[in-house]
Structure 1
């Protein structure tokens, strides 16, 4: 038990968003490691429903709920990594595996009523809209990546799904923790589509989000395979390419399929999956629910 006094529950401390960039990767890593990560309100509501009916909950049922929320997925995998015994030979690489590792009762004990992004950004509809775009993109990327992995009969398909879902979690955290800075990055990219994302990130945030993500995953001791598959710089690995190409396609088609970058994406996806251009387009449309 901590000896530190706690604030009365009736007087919650208002969240103070960052308005200026932190100086470097180490500072960002330290700050984001210490933040309380909010989750989607729909996730928080479902958890409370099942908390009241814990005996009927199981890992697969809860996994289906949590797998739809990248932020809750991140929290759970980080917590499971912190609880992993040195006697265990394998990491909990998926949400379901983490729930099995922890057990249902310990899970609910560790995760009480969750703070939500909707509350965090209640007075920032612009930031909420930005976060929702990233969340929607992550959901589509995860669907594409799982489809690519299944086509390749990859035994780690579920981990590849998780990697794509989490691929842009540092951007999600930025919308929650530093919405003004996240908006500045977005506005600069919208004003000049030729700007490279990493260049804008370095200028506005003093850090590349991909580097921040990798450093956080290692700091949280997330599973090695998951961390590896999420690293775009390991691009020659077919599993990494599944994720990278899925994320890229989801980004390029976030508004319309007529984006001029899409044909090149389809060529690379076809090469990975050994499919013709026509069959590649048919597959990605099916995965995205496009008729």
Structure 2
């Protein structure tokens, strides 16, 4: 990922290839809390280990993505398996090389401060993916899925393209939001296609491949493979987080609970109690 930061996009690019090429060159900011914590750890490098850094990064989808993409494209030739978690990526790199590679980070907050409504847009996505990642991890643990850590990470990264859009094309993201607010029945993909000439799901899938992210992570994040239980854990977690973002009275929630109950082999009442406890 290049340190270059193209000026914000105000006009949609013509096709998916153009969007992928543009984002591959774009600087990726991280959350201000992450940037501050990273500098505090840098000052005490001898007291820091991979688990501590991994726990710190776990709340930040963009820093998570940044580390995984770097690890994937700088993997030693002797390593034949994918690095599927941030902690594993840092272990592979080593603590000092990690800090040398990831110097002081640009922040989402600094980038979006001049744009009214943009930081609010990013924070809305963050709240959703944080809740979704908790749901997904709980589903995976209940199912005794050995890939629970990757499932948590997949839910955290599920909407990273939307976050990047807010960071690098806030005026276009605001147009999409305005369209959906004006017509609540308008599907996200239709609004994105209208404004961007692409859907964010397609952009995200192609960026994950371009950055050589782990195959398992790409599969789990791909909603089109929703029959697989690991993917279902993420899809249903994201869906529930979306439908309950403003409260639990959304008419779509009962259907979500029915599918979650089937996934977890619980009754609908037990499934509802389960997700309510997770959400606490």
Determine which of 140, 145, 159 is the counterpart of 2:131. Answer: 140
Q: Are residue 245 (structure 1) and residue 228 (structure 2) matched?
A: no
- TM-score (norm: length of structure 1): 0.94
Structure 1 residues 74-101: Cα deviation after superposition (integer angstroms, max 9, x where no partner): 0000001011123212111011111111
The 1-side partners of 2:5 and 2:224 are apart by: 38
Alignment of 1:188-199 (within 5 A): 188-199=179-190
Q: Are residue 109 (structure 1) and residue 100 (structure 2) matched?
A: yes
Q: What displacement does 1:242 show? A: 0.5
The 2-side partners of 1:119 and 1:194 are apart by: 33
The 1-side partners of 2:127 and 2:82 are apart by: 28
The 1-side partners of 2:94 and 2:132 are apart by: 29
Determine which of 66, 70, 76 is the counterpart of 1:85. Answer: 76
Partner of 2:43: 52
Structure 1 residues 229-255: Cα deviation after superposition (integer angstroms, max 9, x where no partner): 000001111111100000010111111
Alignment of 1:18-37 (within 5 A): 18-37=9-28
Change (3 A) 1:241 1:84: same
Alpha-carbon contact 2:5-2:27 (below 8 Å) kept? no
Partner of 1:10: none
User: Structure 2 stretches of 5 or more lacking a match?
Assistant: none
Partner of 2:87: 96
Alpha-carbon contact 2:189-2:199 (below 8 Å) kept? yes
Secondary structure at 1:202 match in 2: helix
Secondary structure at 2:84 match in 1: coil
The 2-side partners of 1:244 and 1:15 are apart by: 32
Q: What displacement does 1:122 show? A: 1.2
CA RMSD, aligned part only? 1.3
User: Structure 1 stretches of 5 or more lacking a match?
Assistant: 1-5, 7-12
The 2-side partners of 1:232 and 1:159 are apart by: 15
Alpha-carbon contact 1:163-1:230 (below 8 Å) kept? yes
Q: Are residue 153 (structure 1) and residue 151 (structure 2) matched?
A: no
Partner of 2:209: 218
Q: What displacement does 1:195 show? A: 1.2
Q: What displacement does 1:63 show? A: 0.5
Determine which of 108, 122, 136 is the counterpart of 1:131. Answer: 122
The 2-side partners of 1:121 and 1:199 are apart by: 25
Q: What displacement does 1:163 show? A: 0.2
Give the 4+ runs in structure 1 shifted more than 3 A: none
Alpha-carbon contact 1:78-1:220 (below 8 Å) kept? yes
